C-alpha cells in the first residue's frame, strides 16, 4: 500500500462535496480518480478540488482495472451502491459508502458477504454518530448512574422543501432520513432491533407524492422499547436534524434537544406517589476531531484500512440499522408488527 491511500471517488453529485473537503484535510488520502456517469460532473469536482492530477472517467471498472487503487468512496444514489461496492471489492479495494448501505436488504446482505469474502473493509458514512453532543449523551447513559435504559423516544419534525427526486420518492421519510435516527437509537442504547410496528401516511399539507410521515415502535434487545415519530412536512416548531430525545432509565431520565442541550434527573427518594428527583449537572466533554462527522469517519476508515481498528460503522454492524428502515417499511405496508432480521 502506498504512503497515501489512493482513492477513487465515485458519484460526483451534491453529497460528494463534503467527502472531498474532508479528504483534502487528511494528508493520508489522495483522490486519484473522479468517476461519474456524467463526466462533466466528475470534471467539475476535480476542478473544484486540490486533486488536480486525478483522472476523470465514467467507468469505474476501467479505472480500477488500470490503476493500483486502495479504496473507493461511494457517493452514488442508493440503487447504485451494490454495483459500485461489488466492483470495488472484486478489484481488491476497501469501500466507504454513503448512507444508506443499500437499497434493499437482499443487496445489503450480498455486500456484507462480499466484503467478508474479499477480506476488505466496507463501512458506511453515518456521520451523525460523530457529533460531540451525542457522544456526550451516550457516555452519560453508559456511565450507569441512571441505571439501565428502559425506553427511548425520538421526534423528528422538519418541513423540508427539497424539490427534485425526493418529492417523487416512495417512503421518502423512512428511506431518505430515518436511517440516521434509527442508527442514533442503536448507538445511544447499544441495543439491536428485534421487531417493529409502523404506520406511514401523507399529511394533508404535504408537498410530497407519497407518505412523508411515520410513527414506529421498535422492540430492542435488553427489553428496551424505542418509539419514533417523524415528518418531512412539518411546518413550524421544527426539531433539530438530530431529532428531539427523551430517554427513560431505571433511576431517572435524560432529555436531549439533538443539539447542545440536555437535561438529566435522577431519583433521589422513592416511596411516595411520585418519586422525588434531583437535577444532575453534567459538563460537556470535548470530542477529539469533532467536525460534523465526515473528516472523523474518513480518518477512522483510513486507520482501519491500515490495520489499526475496526470501523464503528462497518457494514456488518450498520446492516442492523438498515434493517430497522426496511422492517418499518414492511410493517407499514403489511399493516402489522414484523420481526427484524439482518442475517
| Per-residue pLDDT tens digits for 198-257 | 999 999 999 999 999 999 999 999 999 999 999 999 999 999 999 999 999 999 999 999
Q: Which three cell numbers stand for residue 215?
A: 410513527
Instruction: Give the C-alpha separation, 235 to 249, whole Å.
Output: 32
Rounded average pLDDT over 165-172: 92
Per-residue pLDDT band for 131 (boundaries 50, 70, 90) equals confident
Q: How many other CB atoms sit within 10 Å of the CB of residue 77?
A: 13
Instruction: Give the C-alpha separation, 202 to 112, whole Å.
Output: 33
pLDDT over 80 at 146, yes or no: yes
| Mean pLDDT for all residues in the chain | 94
Return the C-alpha torsion angle 150, 197, 257, 273, nearest 10: -40
pLDDT in tens, 79-130: 999 999 999 999 999 999 999 999 999 999 999 999 999 999 999 999 888 8
Question: What pLDDT does residue 276 have?
Answer: 94
Instruction: Give the C-alpha separation, 206 to 146, whole Å.
Output: 40
pLDDT in tens, 300-336: 899 999 987 889 899 999 999 999 999 999 999 999 9
249, 221 Cβ separation under 8 angstroms: no
- Percentage of residues in the chain with pLDDT exceeding 90? 87
pLDDT over 60 at 2, yes or no: no
Question: What pLDDT does residue 178 have?
Answer: 96
Amino acid at each position: 500500500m502506498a504512503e497515501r491511500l489512493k482513492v477513487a471517488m465515485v458519484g460526483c453529485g451534491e453529497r460528494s462535496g463534503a467527502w472531498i473537503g474532508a479528504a483534502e484535510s487528511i494528508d493520508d488520502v489522495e483522490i486519484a480518480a473522479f468517476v461519474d456517469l456524467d463526466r462533466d460532473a466528475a470534471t467539475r469536482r476535480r476542478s473544484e478540488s486540490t486533486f488536480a492530477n486525478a483522472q476523470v472517467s465514467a467507468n469505474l471498472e476501467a479505472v480500477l482495472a488500470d490503476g493500483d487503487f486502495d479504496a473507493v468512496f461511494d457517493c452514488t444514489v442508493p440503487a447504485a451502491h451494490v454495483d459500485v461496492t461489488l466492483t470495488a471489492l472484486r478489484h481488491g479495494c476497501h469501500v466507504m459508502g454513503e448512507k444508506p448501505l443499500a437499497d434493499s436488504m437482499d443487496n445489503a446482505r450480498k455486500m456484507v458477504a462480499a466484503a467478508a469474502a474479499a477480506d476488505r473493509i466496507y463501512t458506511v458514512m453515518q456521520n451523525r454518530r460523530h457529533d460531540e453532543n451525542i457522544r456526550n449523551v451516550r457516555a452519560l447513559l453508559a456511565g450507569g448512574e441512571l441505571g439501565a435504559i428502559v425506553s427511548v423516544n425520538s421526534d423528528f419534525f422538519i418541513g423540508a422543501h427539497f424539490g427534485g427526486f425526493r418529492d417523487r420518492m416512495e417512503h421518502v421519510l423512512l428511506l431518505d432520513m430515518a436511517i440516521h435516527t434509527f442508527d442514533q437509537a442503536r448507538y445511544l442504547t447499544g441495543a439491536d432491533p428485534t421487531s417493529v410496528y409502523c404506520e406511514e401516511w401523507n399529511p394533508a399539507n404535504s408537498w410530497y407524492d407519497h407518505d412523508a410521515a411515520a410513527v414506529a415502535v421498535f422492540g430492542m434487545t435488553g427489553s428496551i422499547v424505542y418509539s419514533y415519530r417523524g415528518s418531512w412536512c412539518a411546518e413550524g416548531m421544527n426539531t433539530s436534524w438530530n431529532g428531539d430525545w427523551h430517554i427513560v432509565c431505571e433511576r431517572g431520565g435524560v432529555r436531549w434537544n439533538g443539539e447542545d442541550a440536555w437535561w438529566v434527573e435522577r431519583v433521589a427518594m422513592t416511596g411516595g406517589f411520585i418519586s422525588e428527583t434531583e437535577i444532575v449537572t453534567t459538563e460537556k466533554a470535548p470530542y477529539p476531531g469533532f467536525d460534523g462527522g465526515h473528516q472523523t469517519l474518513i480518518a477512522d476508515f483510513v486507520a482501519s484500512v491500515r490495520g489499526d481498528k475496526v470501523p464503528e460503522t462497518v457494514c456488518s454492524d450498520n446492516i442492523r440499522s438498515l434493517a430497522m428502515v426496511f422492517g418499518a417499511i414492511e410493517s407499514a405496508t403489511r399493516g402489522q408488527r414484523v420481526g427484524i432480521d439482518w442475517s
